[in-house]
Amino acid sequence: MTTPHSLDQAIALSATGPHTYSGATSPAYGNMVGPFGGVTAATVMQAVMLHPERLGEPISLTVNYAAALADGPFTLTARPVRTNRSTQHWLLEITQPDAKGMPATVLTATAVTAVRRETWSVDDEPMPVVPAPDGVPRANMAPQVAWPRRYAMRFITGAIPERWDGQGDSSLLQMWVRDEPGRVLDFPGLTALADVFYPRVWLRRARPVPTGTVSMTVYFHAGPAQLAATGRGWLLAQARGQVFRNGFFDQTAQLWNEAGLLLATTHQIVYYKE
């Protein structure tokens, strides 16, 4: 018997009712406060994937981080609120007990799944021309938190600043990235990778101010077969901010597989201090 991948351990859920699961945060994906938000989003996606009433495959997911998830157990509810002929709409929530032991909302999410059919298709955002993964040095990071060690990152542009001198001029990041150790790509894995970028404002300002993602949306453009074919390969991940204003910035990002297929486009809005 082999040990499950650390991501599969982190997103493991036990059904406790028709629409209810219990889970627990994983120290392997620890962040400054609580867990890496990408793994929390992946856990939400996992609930959808596990649900016996699911119709089709993921099309979109929006996760709102309502409060810092405390390290430890949590309750996740996943409810299909509308099932049509080929699309299904989901409402999801994570709760943890508050100071009085009452369940308090720490995350809300919505998701759409659908039965996809083959149609006319085109990629209009071609993968940028970049050096192959082998030609890009591995990032020499000594992260103070656990989760970045769960990913191999090779920065093409926009590596974490070596000097926090306030002299940044661009928020563009491009990197090759994959789970470490390797893991065959699936929807929870891709969901976590959608949040793999360190905060855009750190790069844009070359200043590590406190930040926290408030809401993240992922659009899935690939089916299960395309994810499985991507396997344990590298993804090209690109992210940039469009506007930083009065405490919140946005991030727009894309994830391609090595063959150049755009697997997911994703956006988030992030709080920053100062």
Binding site for its own copies (CB under 8 A): 59-60, 62, 64, 66-67, 81-82, 84, 87, 89, 91, 93, 104-106, 108-110, 112, 114, 116-125, 170-171, 204-205, 214-215, 217, 219, 221-223, 240-248, 250, 252, 254, 262, 265, 267, 269, 271-274
Minimal distance, residue 231 CB to its own copies, in Å: 19
Nearer to its own copies, 8 or 215 (CB): 215
Minimal distance, residue 31 CB to its own copies, in Å: 18
What DSSP designation does 164 have?
A: -
Nearer to its own copies, 92 or 160 (CB): 92
Minimal distance, residue 121 CB to its own copies, in Å: 4
What DSSP designation does 35 have?
A: B
Nearer to its own copies, 146 or 265 (CB): 265
Q: Give the CA angle between residues 41, 127, 229 to the nearest 5°.
A: 60
Cβ atoms of 22 and 73 within 8 Å: the answer is yes
Nearer to its own copies, 85 or 137 (CB): 85
What DSSP designation does 74 have?
A: E
Cβ atoms of 30 and 23 within 8 Å: the answer is no
Q: How far apart are CA 191 and CA 111, in angstroms?
A: 12
Nearer to its own copies, 164 or 219 (CB): 219
| Encoded tokens for 16 | 């406790």
Checking DSSP bridges between strand 73-83 and strand 87-97, what pairing results, if any? antiparallel
Cβ atoms of 25 and 74 within 8 Å: the answer is yes
Minimal distance, residue 89 CB to its own copies, in Å: 4
Minimal distance, residue 175 CB to its own copies, in Å: 19
